[in-house]
């Protein structure tokens, strides 16, 4: 039979965003794939060179629209390293609070989209319903549900509203019970297991060779989590386990993400307890004035006052819900970063698509790509 | 884990082409090398030092020259290592790392199209984020954000 290229995308239910998966098929078999990206390229790295440090945070939310906090945190750590700033401890805990709630929201979004790819409609609605509870929490202390602009170089914008921690604990209780139901719906279903077992297998050595990180790597049994290996913020003071599976297939990725949500709940309970006991400032004092008061113009030139920042490079790496994200911020003494470079985990995970798609059937593409958890915003930037 | 002595490990392999080893916070360090020693260095870093995971490749335009930097990770040591080399702006060539770390493939495509670094012997140097035929290098300092460029976009597959 002759081979032919077909386009899955840029408008296709499988893609979850704007990108195009070109597939070379021979009958029903996948012979080769060629992902095409760039439909969502906004030039975030270039725009960052033209903005003040705090103004880049707005762009970070748009980098990955389901994991905005993780990207804000990534950029903030690198900037603080480049500018030699130290945030107060309460701000660090608040950032972990944001990160972990974001991980739950992102994984719930993934769960909803993934099960819908498999043709299961009810879990999709359950996932979206429960994600909304987390978004409500975000709204209560940032004012926004997706694009928060909450973290600041030197701390966070504001403290939690009264009664937040009790409300958050109720949400965590609710979610813990729902996770059991999710597993009953999916793992308890023979159809789900037959659809997902031994599908899209990518072994740990191939993951490392092709730069794959995050839940995909951990589903292959490799214990690697930057929150443990290279702790940032206050992760080294909190207790949690790294979620692992060993099947390296679609089911394994499901198991890892579900376990990560449970571990996030565990982390969040510790963080909420700490926040209850330790009131304090959330933004460093003695900041350069424009960093401390992001909404107030300073002087006639607005923010553009002459400053002498130390030249240097800031590097940060965080465990984003999709994998390892990195930022490389070069500071040359001006009020803008000289160069900002981001590493998106999904970028690397998609670049290895040939490794986990070739040899399977065309009908297997939606569940496999669904298990990768694609967010095009951060691939294209 | 014991800090690795990069100069002792890489000096014999690279000789003069090892330009310096600097400390970098929370990492194994930062190696500056001459671009002609790229492949020897990559091989030594991956096989002798155990940095098997290439996280990213990026380019920086310093107007008079360009810098290519690599971030690699070792699962045994649990730390990052930074490699960087300078290339002249009028001859921005460096050997591709794709043969050593296949994950470099897409990162190099991006650095090529956005910063204009030419990666020799790259298996698949095509546009990734910008359209085919896009001749600008947006991350160069000479590319101004506020001056719109006229562009005719070619469709890829007709």
Does any domain span residue A38?
no
Per-residue model confidence (pLDDT) at position A303: 39
Cα separation, A45 vs B115, in Å, equals 11
Token output for A14: 């499988």
- Give this prediction's pTM: 0.87
Residues in chain A closer than 8 A to B80 (CB atoms)? 230, 315, 317
Q: Among all residues of chain A, which has the CA nearest to that of B113?
A: A38
CB under 8 Å to A296, separation ≥6 — which residues?
A: none
User: Out of A22, A41, A47, whose CB is closest to B130?
Assistant: A41
* Least Cα separation, residue B17 to chain A (angstroms): 23
Whichever domain contains A76, its CATH number is 1.10.645.10
CB spacing of A222 vs B75 below 8 angstroms: yes
pLDDT surpasses 70 at B151: no
pLDDT surpasses 80 at B1: no
Cα separation, A275 vs A273, in Å, equals 5
Instruction: Report the C-alpha dihedral over residues A154, A156, A158, A160, rounded to 10 degrees.
Output: -140
Sites in chain A below the pLDDT cut of 70: 1, 285-310, 334-335
- Asked whether B121 and B99 are in contact (CB, 8 A), the reply is yes
Per-residue model confidence (pLDDT) at position B157: 60
CB atoms within 10 A of CB B84: 19
Residue extents of the structural domains in chain B: 6-120
Residues in chain B closer than 8 A to A338 (CB atoms)? 60
CB under 8 Å to A200, separation ≥6 — which residues?
A: A249, A250, A356, A357, A360, A364, A367, A368, A371
Q: How far apart are the first and last CA of chain A?
A: 40
* Least Cα separation, residue A142 to chain B (angstroms): 31
pLDDT, mean over chain B: 85
| Torsion angles phi and psi, residue B87, rounded to 5 | -125, 145
Per-residue model confidence (pLDDT) at position A149: 85
Does any domain span residue A97?
yes
| Ordered alpha helix ranges (H), chain A | 44-48, 56-63, 68-83, 89-117, 121-142, 164-186, 190-196, 204-209, 215-218, 226-229, 250-277, 289-292, 345-351, 353-357, 365-372, 376-380
Residue window 66-85, chain B: list those with CB within 8 Å of chain A: 69, 71, 75, 78-80, 82
- Asked whether A19 and A10 are in contact (CB, 8 A), the reply is yes
CB atoms within 10 A of CB A308: 6
Per-residue model confidence (pLDDT) at position A318: 92
Per-residue model confidence (pLDDT) at position B83: 92
Does any domain span residue A236?
yes
Domain count, chain A: 1
Q: For chain B, say whether A326 makes contact (Cβ under 8 Å).
A: yes
- Angle, vertex CA A327, rays to CA A159 and CA A160, nearest 5: 10
Question: Which architecture, in CATH terms, is B6-120?
Answer: 2-Layer Sandwich (3.30)
- Asked whether B54 and B111 are in contact (CB, 8 A), the reply is no
Cα separation, A253 vs A49, in Å, equals 37
| pLDDT band, very low/low/confident/very high, at B154 (cuts 50, 70, 90) | low
Q: In sequence order, what DSSP letters do the residues of A346-366 get, joined into one string?
A: HHHHHHTHHHHHTTSBGGGHH
Instruction: Report the C-alpha dihedral over residues B45, B48, B52, B54, rounded to 10 degrees.
Output: 0
Q: How far is CA A199 from CA A357, A369, B11, in A?
A: 9, 11, 45
pLDDT tens digits for range B13-72: 888 888 888 888 888 888 999 888 889 889 988 888 889 999 999 999 988 899 999 999
pLDDT tens digits for range B77-91: 888 999 999 999 888
- Angle between helical axes of A68-83 and A89-117 (0-180°, round to 10): 150
Cα separation, A92 vs A260, in Å, equals 21
Residues in chain B closer than 8 A to A324 (CB atoms)? 55
Per-residue model confidence (pLDDT) at position A288: 57
| Pairing label, strands A323-331, A312-320 | antiparallel
pLDDT tens digits for range A284-342: 766 655 554 444 444 443 333 345 556 778 889 999 999 999 999 888 876 678 888 99
Q: In chain A, count of helices (H) and strands (E)? A: 16, 8
- Angle between helical axes of A56-63 and A68-83 (0-180°, round to 10): 140
Residue B9 CB-density burial (10 A; 0-12 exposed, 13-18 middle, 19+ buried): middle
Token output for A86: 């130290």
Q: How far apart are the first and last CA of chain B?
A: 56
Give the position of tokens 């214990």: A223
Q: Which domain holds residue A82?
A: 52-380
Give the residue-averaged pLDDT of B92-109.
91
User: Out of B54, B75, B156, whose CB is closest to A211?
Assistant: B54
Q: How far is CA A252 from CA A134, A201, A280, in A?
A: 25, 9, 42
Does any domain span residue A281?
yes
């Amino acid at each position: 039979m002759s081979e032919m290229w077909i386009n899955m995308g840029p408008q296709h239910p499988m893609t979850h965003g704007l990108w195009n998966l070109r597939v070379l098929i021979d009958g029903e078999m996948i012979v080769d794939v060629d992902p095409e990206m760039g439909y969502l390229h906004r030039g975030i790295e270039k725009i960052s060179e033209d903005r003040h440090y705090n103004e880049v945070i707005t762009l970070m939310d748009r980098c990955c629209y389901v994991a905005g906090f993780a990207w804000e945190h990534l950029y903030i750590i690198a900037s603080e390293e480049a500018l030699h700033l130290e945030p107060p401890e309460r701000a660090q805990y608040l950032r972990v609070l944001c990160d972990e709630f974001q991980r739950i929201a992102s994984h719930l979004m993934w769960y909803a989209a993934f099960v819908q790819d498999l043709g299961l409609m009810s879990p999709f609605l359950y996932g979206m319903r429960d994600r909304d509870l987390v978004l409500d929490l975000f709204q209560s202390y940032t004012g926004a549900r997706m694009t928060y602009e909450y973290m600041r170089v030197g701390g966070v914008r504001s403290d939690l509203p009264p009664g937040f921690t009790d409300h958050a604990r109720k949400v965590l209780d609710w979610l813990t019970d729902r996770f059991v139901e999710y597993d009953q719906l999916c793992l308890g279903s023979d159809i789900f297991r037959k659809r997902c077992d031994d599908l899209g297998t990518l072994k740990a050595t191939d993951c490392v060779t092709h730069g794959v990180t995050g839940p995909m790597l951990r589903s292959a049994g490799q214990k690697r989590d930057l929150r443990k290996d290279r702790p940032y913020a206050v992760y080294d003071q909190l207790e949690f386990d790294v979620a692992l599976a060993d099947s390296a297939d679609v089911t394994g990725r499901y198991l890892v993400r579900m376990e990560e949500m449970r571990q996030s709940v565990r982390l969040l309970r510790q963080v909420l307890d700490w926040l209850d006991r330790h009131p304090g400032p959330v933004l460093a004092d003695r900041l350069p004035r424009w960093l401390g008061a992001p909404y107030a113009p300073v002087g006639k030139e607005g923010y553009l006052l002459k400053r002498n920042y130390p030249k240097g490079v800031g590097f940060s790496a965080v465990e984003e819900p999709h994998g390892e994200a990195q930022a490389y911020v070069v500071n040359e003494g001006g009020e803008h970063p000289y160069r900002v470079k981001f590493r998106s985990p999904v970028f690397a995970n998609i670049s290895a698509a040939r490794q986990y798609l070739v040899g399977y059937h065309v009908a297997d593409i939606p569940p496999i790509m669904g298990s990768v958890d694609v967010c095009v915003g951060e691939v294209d930037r | 884990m014991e800090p690795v002595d990069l100069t002792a490990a890489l000096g014999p392999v690279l000789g003069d082409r090892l330009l310096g080893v600097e400390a970098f916070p929370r990492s194994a360090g930062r190696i500056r090398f001459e671009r002609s020693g790229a492949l020897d260095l990559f091989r030594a870093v991956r096989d002798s030092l155990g940095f098997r995971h290439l996280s990213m490749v990026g380019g920086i335009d310093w107007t008079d020259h360009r810098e290519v930097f690599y971030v690699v990770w070792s699962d045994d040591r649990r730390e990052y290592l930074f490699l960087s080399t300078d290339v002249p702006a009028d001859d921005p060539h460096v050997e591709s790392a794709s043969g050593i770390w296949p994950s470099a493939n897409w990162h190099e495509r991006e650095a090529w199209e956005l910063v204009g670094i030419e990666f020799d012997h790259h298996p698949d140097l095509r546009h990734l984020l910008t359209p085919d035929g896009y001749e600008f290098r947006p991350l160069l300092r000479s590319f101004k954000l506020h001056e719109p460029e006229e562009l005719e976009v070619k469709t890829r597959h007709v």
